[in-house]
Amino acid sequence: MTAQTEPNFPLSVVIAGGSVAALEAALTLRELAGDRITIKLVAPGEDFVYRPAVVGEPFGYARAERHSLPEIAAEIGVELHGESLAWIDAGSQIAHTDASALPYDALLVAIGAQPHIRYEHAVTIDDRILDEQLHGLIQDVEQGYVQRMAFVVPGGMAWPLPIYELALMTATRALEMNVEVSITIVTPEESPLATFGSAVSHAVSALLAGAAVDVITSAYCEIPTPGRIRISPGHLALDVQRVVSLPELRGPAVRGLPGAPGGFIPVGPDGAVRGVQRVYAAGDATDFPIKHGGIAAQQADAAGTTIAALAGVDVIAGPFRPVVRGILMTGAKPLYLQGYTTGKHGFGSEISEHPLWATAGKIAAVRLGPYLETRNLRTATSS
Ligand SMILES: Cc1cc2nc3c(=O)[nH]c(=O)nc-3n(C[C@H](O)[C@H](O)[C@H](O)COP(=O)(O)OP(=O)(O)OC[C@H]3O[C@@H](n4cnc5c(N)ncnc54)[C@H](O)[C@@H]3O)c2cc1C
């Protein structure tokens, strides 16, 4: 490994990504390090889309918020490069994009996970087109054409919340329309939403039972033909008319960085990528086993604080202590869920009809939450 140079001042920070982890990190760095740093944001898209809200679209809820990345970049004071990170020369401290080579003193990789279709014979949810994918299915449920359906979670890493939200909202809609539909969730989790801890799991299990949604836990699926679900371990099979699946998530496998199983980026609790210097990572791209916006934001806070310390700011780069927070859309009152977590299991878990933390929005992010809330208020008052 090449010896690292002393950091320049202002410290030149490159952040790859244009979503939760990247924006939370940029806000953290601006707040903590001010003009001790410059930030280049490398992100290919035009917009930051508030992904959790997409789940409501097929049920006629408001369209998910979209925020212009060039506007956000101007507001936060970062230089936006509408490019994609291609590979990293960590020895020379250069991030290569599809269009340029960007030298850095610190690089934060926050480019998310890559969704893959696990089952040929299922609708795999794609949040870019979820309304288009599920609108017709929800109409078929409303009109009584679909009486048996399943929501499945593939093995490996997946976002925990949306499959429960889709199942509960479908059950609520069927009840409102006075039609009968049998809904089953099949999941490898030991209990529903186990990452949030046992209090949340028990309450969500009761909620699902009340909505007549069956749950088969500790289960892995194969779907050999349309509508046929084989479940293992055991010899259980389900026959349904429609199957909706979460995608399987894989890591971005960035050339020039070490890889953990599945192509995820291995990080320590301070956000530093293991085995390379001055490279940090946060969010769904990392090997932390829970893929969740609130967790992505906490990782970004930890990595941002570590980089601020490198810029000479007198902050203690505290390790990332994950608390998983989520708002479960149920079709009726939303529920606030919270649990401390060490990985796949939660402890100290709580569930409430009232907010359990201060920031607004489905993604619990200490800086991005209030920032987006202010932006939304400004847009509402100016229109
Ligand atoms: C339907 C759905 C519902 C969800 N509900 C919730 C919820 O209720 N609460 C919650 O907390 N979380 C929820 N999540 C999970 C949450 O959205 C993700 O965990 C979160 O978005 C991860 O943020 P991220 O910044 O790590 O990655 P992403 O949001 O995946 O963003 C990756 C960013 O990197 C950019 N990018 C990709 N490749 C490159 C490249 N090569 N170079 C530069 N940039 C690149 C992308 O354009 C994007 O801007 C949900 C997810 C989905 C899909």
188-247, pLDDT tens digit by residue? 999 999 989 999 999 999 999 999 999 999 999 999 999 999 999 988 999 999 999 999
The predicted pLDDT at position 4 comes to 55
The CA angle 225-227-233, to the nearest 5 degrees, is 80
Please report the pLDDT score of residue 346 as a whole number: 60
Give distance in angstroms: CA of 368 to centre of ligand 1: 14
Type and span of the H or E element at 227:
none
Q: What is the pLDDT of residues 238-294, one digit of tens each?
A: 999 999 999 999 999 999 999 999 999 999 999 999 999 999 999 999 999 999 999
Nearest ligand 1 atom to alpha carbon 48:
49
Question: 20 CA distance to ligand 1 centroid (A)?
Answer: 6
* Per-residue pLDDT of the chain in tens (383 residues, 90 and over written 9): 445 566 677 999 999 999 999 999 999 999 999 999 999 999 999 999 999 999 999 999 989 999 999 999 999 999 999 999 999 999 999 999 999 999 999 999 999 999 999 999 999 999 999 999 999 999 999 999 999 999 999 987 788 899 999 999 999 999 999 999 999 999 999 999 998 999 999 999 999 999 999 999 999 999 999 999 999 998 899 999 999 999 999 999 999 999 999 999 999 999 999 999 999 999 999 999 999 999 999 999 999 999 999 999 999 876 778 999 999 999 889 999 999 876 555 668 999 999 998 877 899 999 999 999 999 888 888 76
Which one-letter DSSP state was computed for residue 51?
Answer: G
From 51, 63, 161, 372, give the residue whose CB has the most ligand 1 atoms within 8 Å, as the site to mutate. 51
C-beta separation of 290 from 356 below 8 A: no
Distance CA(236)–CA(242), nearest Å, equals 17
Model pLDDT, residue 5: 60
Exposed, middle or buried: residue 128 (CB in 10 Å: 0-12, 13-18, 19+)?
exposed
Non-local CB neighbours of 91 within 8 Å, separated by 6+ positions: 1, 2
Measured from the Cα of 20, ligand 1's closest atom is 25
Give residue for tokens 């906490």: 298
Query: Cα(67)–Cα(188) distance, rounded to whole angstroms?
Result: 35
Q: 240 alpha carbon to ligand 1 midpoint, in Å?
A: 31
34 Cβ contact partners less than 8 Å away, ≥ 6 residues apart: none
Q: Tokens at residue 353, please?
A: 């009809």
- Does residue 171 contact residue 260 with C-beta atoms inside 8 Å? no
Protein residue whose Cα sits closest to atom 50 of ligand 1: 52
Q: Is 237 exposed, middle or buried (0-12, 13-18, 19+ CB in 10 A)?
A: exposed
Q: Judge whether 149 and 186 are in contact, CB under 8 Å.
A: no
How many contiguous H segments (helices) and E segments (strands) does the chain have? Answer: 7, 23
Pocket test for ligand 1, best of 292, 301, 335, 336 (most atoms within 8 A of CB): 292
pLDDT given for residue 1 in this prediction: 43
Q: What is the pLDDT of residue 31?
A: 97
Q: What is the per-residue pLDDT for 360? A: 76
Q: Could you tell me the two tokens for 344? A: 């796949």
Q: Which atom of ligand 1 is nearest to the CA of 254?
A: 41
109 forms beta bridges with: 16, 281
Pocket lining for ligand 1, CB < 6 angstroms: 16-22, 42-45, 51-52, 54-55, 84-85, 110-112, 127, 159, 161-162, 283-285, 291-294, 296, 326, 362-363
